[in-house]
Amino acid sequence: MSHRKLFLFKKRVKKDLNRLRTEIRFLAFGVWNTVFGLTLFYLLLKFIPELNYYVILVSSFIISTVQSHFSQRHLVWRSSAPYLYELMKFFWGTLSSFIINLACLPILVEYLQFPIFLSQVLIVFFLTILSFLYQKHLVFGVNSQETRP
């Protein structure tokens, strides 16, 4: 793809995203972030099976958090808040979700004997709802500026 075509493609995507309401953007990028995180978890589990699932969870968490913050800040909420302050709020919310994930995963896997990947899917579903509420009201809510057509 030529540089010019890539530029035009990015411009069109940005224009199309501007038309969407915040809630629809959150849903779309929430699905993307969830699929990204679960896919990364699965790929690490499949291709590096000798790694303990805690190591896989930590690795996928770190990479997914960076990717998620970028998409939430720039593409969903279009925030102009001071970057580090907002990043810290986002990080603490994400870290809280991670700690809940870290506590729940061994309960489902070790005690309830659920498959590892299914356990992660169930936990992520629950945490996605909590994350939406936290981000909407505490991280991006005050400074988000919704663009309406």
> Which one of 13-17, 29-33, 91-95, 112-116 scores highest in mean pLDDT?
112-116
pLDDT, mean over the chain: 84
Is residue 147 domain-resident? Answer: no
Specify if 15 maps to a domain.
Answer: no
Residue 89 lies in a domain: yes
Confidence of residue 74 (pLDDT cuts 50, 70, 90): confident
pLDDT at residue 148 in the model: 34
Q: Which domain holds residue 115?
A: 21-139
Task: Kindly state the average pLDDT of the residues 20-24.
Answer: 74
Residue 53 domain-assigned (yes or no): yes
Helix ranges restricted to H, the chain: 3-19, 22-47, 53-71, 83-106, 116-134
How many independent structural domains does the chain possess?
Answer: 1
CA neighbor of 58 nearest in space, from 120, 13, 143: 120
Say if pTM beats, i.e. exceeds, 0.75. no
